[in-house]
Structure 1
Amino acid sequence: MNHLSLIIKREYLTKVRNKSFIIMTFLSPFIFVGIFALVAYLSSLNSDTVRKISILDETGLFTDEFNSSPHMQYKILQNISLEAAKKQAEIEEDYGLLFIPKTENLEDLSKKITFYSEDSPSLSMMSDINSMLETKVNTLKLKEAGIDSETIKSLHIDINTNQETFKGKETSKLGSGLKLAFGAAAGYLLFMFIIIYGNMIMRSVIEEKTSRVIEVIISSVKPRVLLLGKIFGTTLAGITQFLVWVVLILVLMTVVTSIFGIDAASASPSQQIMENSIDGGTQQVLHDVMLEINNLPILNLIVMFILFFVGGYLLYASLYASVGAAVDSETDTQQFMMPILMPLILAVYVGFFTVMDNPHGTVSQVFSYIPFTSPVVMLMRIPFGVPVWQQIISVVILFSSFIGMVWFAAKIYRVGILMYGKKPTYKEIFKWLKY
């Protein structure tokens, strides 16, 4: 046990004192915040752009339908031909020209309206234009049929079905999406942590093996203790770096947003859609969001996130260490990486495509017990209300699998750490397990 603590301390100090580790620890938050600030700035420039659209309406029916906004200005053209209107729009560098020809009936009109522009227009803008035209055309069609469209509108009733559990807890439409977002964020964070710091462990083992330092260490320390020391030491270094990133990013984001006046919402790719949603019922959306956040098992999520995060990482870290011990260079690791990454990738796909549809289905439950996929899948399921006993069983299986995997990895580690000059095959690695 004394050896284990010494190895953990050595691995931790070796990592945190490394120049590249220190540089990336402090440089990465600046890069992240810099990219965020650049995207927000470019988005603000894009949102300040005013699009001018000329409208040539030969029917005279749509003149009052187009209302200009701060980001969209409509200009009605009169007593001008289509060709002259197109040339004028090009000369004045308008975003486009909407041509509404005069036809015998509304059915023909719906097929002949054309939008002219230099490049392909945005989908959101064309959707808005089509929506305005459809509303007017449908109103005119009702009048032709002798039906009062205003009466129909007044008789229209919107249905907003209330959602409530059998125990009387109120829910909303946003619930599933919000719960999936919480679970997906936790699963994705674990996924990235495993890949980044698992590779760090693997490279550390390869470096010590190629430098022959490992031969000196292994003479006085058991392979299993050395393996555990590397895993725990690198894990602590990774957690230290992660915490520094979180603190620095929060500080830098606060400084950037306050000094440069960058609004995080301005980084949204569709500001106009957000403006439309504000007009259509923001208070209800905010109410639903707060309601669902209050309904989330926050304490349960935090505790299980820590357990699955630690257990999942330790499980995969032991595999990364054994791969590093089996090869002589990082290029030789490629043949062994796919079997390690496939369960992680499978867990992400299962989480998104099964938990989203049925979080308590057979597939979701099975994969939330398999140790190689449970850290991601179970974290996605917990916000939907998973019984505590199921969570405990999954955690027990995960940590039991880690203990078994350490035994498995230590056998590979014991033989592979002293093997040089030969790329091992799966058959040879299987033989090492028998030694």
Structure 2
Amino acid sequence: MNHLRLIIKREYVTKVKNKSFIVMTILSPILMIGLFSLVAYLSQLNEEKERVISVLDESGMIQDVFKNGDHISYNILENMSLKDAEELVKQTESYGLLHIDKLNNVDSVSGHIKFYSEDSPSLSVISNLESKIEKRLENLKLQNKGVDIGMIEAAKTKINIVQESFEGEKTSKIDSVVKLVFGGLAGYLLFMFIIIYGNMIMRSVIEEKTSRIIEVIISSVKPIQLMLGKIIGTSLAGITQFVIWLIIGGSLLFVASAIFGIDMGHMQSPNQQMMQQAMENPEMNMQIQDVLAAFYHLPIANLIIAFIVFFICGYLLYSSLYAAIGAAVDNETDTQQFVLPVLMPLMLAVYIGFFTVIEDPHGTVSTVFSFIPFTSPVVMLMRIPFGVPIWQQILSLLILLGTFMLTVWFAAKIYRVGILMYGKKPTYKELIKWIKY
């Protein structure tokens, strides 16, 4: 056990003192926040750009719906030909020209609307124009048929089915979305952590193996101790790097926002902009309250404890496989045939989580995969927000721990033989032989 502590300390110190590790630890958050800030700044400039749209409505049916907004204004043109309107727009350098042909039939107007501009117009601008025109034409058609628009608006009914368990606990559709977000973030974080730092462990083993340092170390240390020391030491270095990223990234984000006056909320896609406009109505405000209520009803304590336990156990399980792969090969090129089968259960877990858990978190598929050790760290973390009995969580964790111990034993067998093998690309058949030694 004393050897294990020394190996962990050596592995940790070696990693954190490595120049490339230090450079990437400091440089990565700087580059990411710099790029993020640049995109936010450019997006903010684009958001604040004033757009003037000229409207030539020869039908006279639609022009009344165009009202000036914060960053967009409409110039209504009258008694002017289309050619003259185009020349005027070019001279004034307006954003574009919306033209509606002179037609008396409402049904024909929809096919005779064009938007002229020098460059491709924004998707959000076109969507906004289409929405205004569609609403106007629909009302005109109804009025022509003698329908009272006010009565239709008054007859509209919003249905929101209240969900409640037999124990009296109330939920809503928003609850499922919030729970999926929390579970998805936990599963995705584990997935990325395994890929990044699992590869770091594998490369570390390959480097020591190719430099023949491993031959000296193995003479005084058991292979299983060496493998566990590498896994734990590298994991601690990864956690250290991750914490430093959070501290530096958070500080730089705050500084960038304060100095340059960048509002990160302006980094929006056209769909997000339309959603923001929709949030101004009372119904959306009610949904925001539902989101806050859903967050309040989350099993926070259970989520935190389960996340820590399943995250650590799942990471150790896959890290032992990465260490065994590193011991079995001489270079990173030969690792591809072994890495893919290791990652496939992890990728399957992510897909199962996103496409099955949200639909039926307590169904057969979700439940079964939350007990399979190679998928349970992700699937169980995504199921827990929906309410999983404690006995199922404990059983899944025990199976995961048992599989980890078994995997460590198998990986140590491969590690023991593989770290002294050079110049030969192993096959799966040879790996099975190594396990039997």
Q: What TM-score results when the alignment is normalised by the length of structure 2? A: 0.95
1:25-424 to 2 correspondences below 5 Å: 25-270=25-270, 272-281=273-282, 282-424=284-426
SS in 2 for 1:315: helix
Asked if the contact 1:347/1:367 (under 8 Å) is kept, the reply is yes
Aligned to 1:428: 430
- How many angstroms does 1:319 deviate by? 0.6
SS in 1 for 2:54: strand
- How many angstroms does 1:252 deviate by? 2.2
> Counterpart of 1:355 in structure 2: which amino acid?
V
- How many angstroms does 1:297 deviate by? 0.6
Q: Distance in 1 between matches of 2:413 and 2:134?
A: 71
Q: Distance in 1 between matches of 2:351 and 2:95?
A: 41
- Of the structure 1 ranges 135-144 and 218-227, higher mean CA displacement relative to structure 2 is found in 135-144
SS in 1 for 2:422: coil
- How many angstroms does 1:356 deviate by? 2.1
SS in 2 for 1:55: strand
> Counterpart of 2:154 in structure 1: which amino acid?
S
Q: Distance in 1 between matches of 2:172 and 2:55?
A: 42
Q: Distance in 2 between matches of 1:105 and 1:274?
A: 33
Q: Distance in 2 between matches of 1:54 and 1:30?
A: 44
SS in 1 for 2:335: helix
- How many angstroms does 1:229 deviate by? 1.0
> Counterpart of 1:287 in structure 2: which amino acid?
Q
Q: Distance in 2 between matches of 1:310 and 1:169?
A: 32
SS in 2 for 1:393: helix
SS in 1 for 2:280: helix
> Counterpart of 1:242 in structure 2: which amino acid?
F
- How many angstroms does 1:372 deviate by? 1.1
**Which deviations, in whole Å up to 9, do the C-alpha atoms of 1:148-180 show, x marking residues without a partner?**
212322333333333333322332332222111
Q: Distance in 1 between matches of 2:97 and 2:90?
A: 9
Q: Distance in 2 between matches of 1:410 and 1:24?
A: 31
**Which deviations, in whole Å up to 9, do the C-alpha atoms of 1:289-329 show, x marking residues without a partner?**
21011011111110010011101110110011011101111
- Of the structure 1 ranges 218-227 and 81-90, higher mean CA displacement relative to structure 2 is found in 81-90
- How many angstroms does 1:103 deviate by? 2.0
- How many angstroms does 1:119 deviate by? 3.8
Q: Distance in 2 between matches of 1:18 and 1:308?
A: 30
- How many angstroms does 1:278 deviate by? 3.5
> Counterpart of 2:380 in structure 1: which amino acid?
M
> Counterpart of 2:379 in structure 1: which amino acid?
V
Unaligned runs of 5+ in 2: none
Q: Distance in 2 between matches of 1:24 and 1:418?
A: 31
Q: Distance in 2 between matches of 1:426 and 1:154?
A: 71
- Of the structure 1 ranges 104-113 and 160-169, higher mean CA displacement relative to structure 2 is found in 160-169
Asked if the contact 1:43/1:269 (under 8 Å) is kept, the reply is no
**Which deviations, in whole Å up to 9, do the C-alpha atoms of 1:248-270 show, x marking residues without a partner?**
22222222222322222122234
> Counterpart of 1:376 in structure 2: which amino acid?
V
Q: Distance in 2 between matches of 1:129 and 1:47?
A: 17
Gap change, CA 1:200 and 1:259, over 3 Å in 2: same
**Which deviations, in whole Å up to 9, do the C-alpha atoms of 1:348-398 show, x marking residues without a partner?**
111111112222221111111111111111111111111111111111111
Q: What TM-score results when the alignment is normalised by the length of structure 1? A: 0.96
- Of the structure 1 ranges 256-265 and 271-280, higher mean CA displacement relative to structure 2 is found in 271-280
Unaligned runs of 5+ in 1: none
Aligned to 2:20: 20
- Of the structure 1 ranges 227-236 and 127-136, higher mean CA displacement relative to structure 2 is found in 127-136
SS in 1 for 2:421: coil
- How many angstroms does 1:80 deviate by? 1.3
**Which deviations, in whole Å up to 9, do the C-alpha atoms of 1:227-262 show, x marking residues without a partner?**
111111111111111122222222222222223222
Give percent identity, aligned residues only. 61
Q: Distance in 2 between matches of 1:120 and 1:162?
A: 45
Asked if the contact 1:172/1:291 (under 8 Å) is kept, the reply is no
Gap change, CA 1:261 and 1:274, over 3 Å in 2: farther
- Of the structure 1 ranges 127-136 and 316-325, higher mean CA displacement relative to structure 2 is found in 127-136
Asked if the contact 2:59/2:104 (under 8 Å) is kept, the reply is no
SS in 2 for 1:53: strand
- How many angstroms does 1:275 deviate by? 4.1
Gap change, CA 1:54 and 1:300, over 3 Å in 2: same
- How many angstroms does 1:413 deviate by? 0.5
- How many angstroms does 1:51 deviate by? 2.0
> Counterpart of 2:55 in structure 1: which amino acid?
I
Q: Distance in 2 between matches of 1:155 and 1:243?
A: 55
SS in 2 for 1:64: helix
> Counterpart of 2:413 in structure 1: which amino acid?
K
- How many angstroms does 1:274 deviate by? 4.8
1:8 aligns with 2:8: yes
